Amino acid sequence: MKDVSDSVVMEALQRLIPAPPGPGSPVSPAITDGWDISSQAELALTRRMVAAVSALRPLDGIICEGVPAQAGSSGVRWVLDPVDGSVNAATGLAHVATSLAVEEAAGSDWHCREGRVIDWTRSWTYAARRGAGASCEGCPLPAQPPVALHQALIAMGLSHRPHRRPPEAALFARLIGVARGVRILGATALDLCWLAAGHVQAVVDLDASRWDWAAGALIAREAGATVVLTEHGLVAACPSLMDDILQLLEPGP
């Protein structure tokens, strides 16, 4: 089989994304994992995307929300989140995206070399290649100017696991006490793109899976943000804010 480029695969996956529901469309979520919800439509999209990658790049690995990981032999793997913001999608809220990332092995680690995040509501595509900058709909995303913490709008992720909620609530209180505002929007990949575009100045999600952030973190980095991985998630911010935010992750005395 002739080698198919990363971009061709991403374009094929992008064509699978359904049109967003119109006004009055029925919403019928199914409870799947405690407080997390998804839908049969999300499961069907996931299966189509995994099948498409397997057909176009059969030697590559795949990790994707909702299905078992597939090991590959090429040293390349795809990190897919067909519906980032599953609860939003299932309940009709507009902050939903598809996240597509392709990574290459680097010793025992993996480095993202290309990523795309597609905003369902606006039909905008955020994209980046490592070392080549980030864009939205083909328009370059420049680095944002330095900002002080009291001027910063922060997007924060919220875990679906109940035992993580109390420390997240405490962190929210610490952030809201010093920042301009904190928003819990429900789609980490899109939050990271909004950081890249300057709509927010930081993203804090301490319980995020790799498919949630692989593409968005590359896009944010290529737009000049600093990204720090934590034990279970990440913090991304304008460089001028990172030290202050990292200090706030741990409660004071």
Cβ neighbours around 195 below 10 Å, total: 29
Tell me the Cα Rg of the chain: 18
Domains of the chain: 6-140 (3.30.540.10), 149-248 (3.40.190.80)
* Confidence bin at 44 (pLDDT 50/70/90): confident
CA dist 83 and 119 (Å) reads: 10
What are the φ/ψ torsions at residue 58 (nearest 5 degrees)?
A: -65, -15
pTM of the predicted model, to two decimals? 0.93
Mean pLDDT, the chain, as a whole number?
Answer: 91
Instruction: Kindly state the tokens that stand for 23.
Output: 């006004």
DSSP one-letter string for 111-174: EEEEEEEEETTTTEEEEEETTS-EEETTEE-PPPPP--GGG-EEEE---SSGGGHHHHHHHHHH
Q: pLDDT tens across 60-113, in order? A: 999 998 889 999 999 999 999 999 998 888 788 889 999 999 999 998 899 999
Token pair belonging to 201? 């100045």
CA angle 195, 210, 238 (to 5 degrees): 20
* φ, ψ at 74 (rounded to 5°): -90, -10
Per-residue pLDDT averaged across 195-203, rounded? 98
Q: What is the pLDDT of residues 204-251, one digit of tens each?
A: 999 999 999 999 999 999 999 999 999 999 999 999 999 999 999 987
Question: Cα angle vertex 35, ends 33, 36, to 5°?
Answer: 55
Is the sign of the CA dihedral 210, 126, 113, 246 positive or negative? negative
Q: Mapping DSSP to helix (H, G, I), strand (E, B) and coil, where does residue 60 land?
A: coil
Q: Is the pLDDT of residue 1 over 50?
A: no
